[in-house]
Amino acid sequence: MAVDWCFDWLAFVLSQWSFLEVLQYLGSFSILVAVIFYFSESGDRLKQKHYQAWQVINTAQGKGGSGGRIEALQELNMDGVPLVGVDVSGAFLQGVHLPRAKMVRSNLNAVDARNSNFAGTDFTFADLRSGNFRESNMSGVKFAGTDLNNADLCAANLSGAVLNGATLDAADLGKADLRNIQWQNIKSLQGTNLWQVRNAPPGFLQWAMQHGANASQAQSDCP
C-alpha cells in the first residue's frame, strides 16, 4: 500500500508539471513536421525511381535476357511515363504488362514478349520485326506505320487493332483474333500467314490473298 501511495503521489506531481505537457506537444509537432517533409519530397523520390528504371533499361540495351527491364518498364508505364523511342531489341520480356503504353517509334526488334499484355498500346512507327508476341493481348493497339515483318502473332488477340500503313510481310497471324481490325490501308502483307484466323472482317481474307498473303498450315508455327 505504501508503494502504491508513492506511485500515486508521483503520478499526481508529474501531471501538474507543465514541462511534460510541453514535451508531449513537441512530440506531436515533430511527427507533423516529419509527415510534411515526407510529402514535400515525394516528387524527388518519384524522379529518383524513374531515373533508376531508365538506367536499368539503358544499361541492358542490346543484351539478351530480362536484366530487370520487365519491372522497370512496368513501373514507368504505371506512373504514366511515356516509353517513346525505348530500345529493348532482343530482350526477354515474356509476360510483360504494358497496357495503354506510349511506345511510339520504340524498338522491339527480335524481342520475346509472348503471353504479354499490350492492350491499347501505341506502337505507331515502331520496329517490331521478328518479335515474338504469340498469345499476347494486343487488342486496340495502334500499329500505324509499324514494321511487323516476320513477327510471330500466333493466337494473339488483335481485335480492334489499327493497321493503317503497317507492313506484315512474312508475319505469322495463325489463329489470331482479327475482330474489328482496321485493315483497309495495310501497306504490305506479302507472305503473311493467315491460317485459321478468327473473326476476320468481311472482305479481308479475299483482299489479303490478292495481295500476297496465304493460309498455309505448313508455314505456320501455331499448334
Q: 171-194 pLDDT, tens per residue?
A: 999 999 999 999 999 999 999 999
502473332: which residue's cell?
153
pLDDT recorded at residue 216: 85
pLDDT recorded at residue 61: 85
CATH no. of 41-223: 2.160.20
Give residues with Cβ within 8 angstroms of 103, minimum separation 6: 83, 84, 86, 121, 122, 123, 126
Secondary structure tally for the chain: helices H, strands E: 5, 0
494473339: which residue's cell?
156
Q: 28-70 pLDDT, tens per residue?
A: 656 655 555 545 555 567 788 899 999 999 998 878 888 899 9
Q: 3-35 pLDDT, tens per residue?
A: 666 656 555 555 555 555 555 655 665 665 555
pLDDT confidence of 120, banded at 50, 70, 90?
Answer: very high
pLDDT recorded at residue 221: 79
pTM of the complete model: 0.79
Rounded Cα–Cα distance for residues 142 and 121 (Å): 6
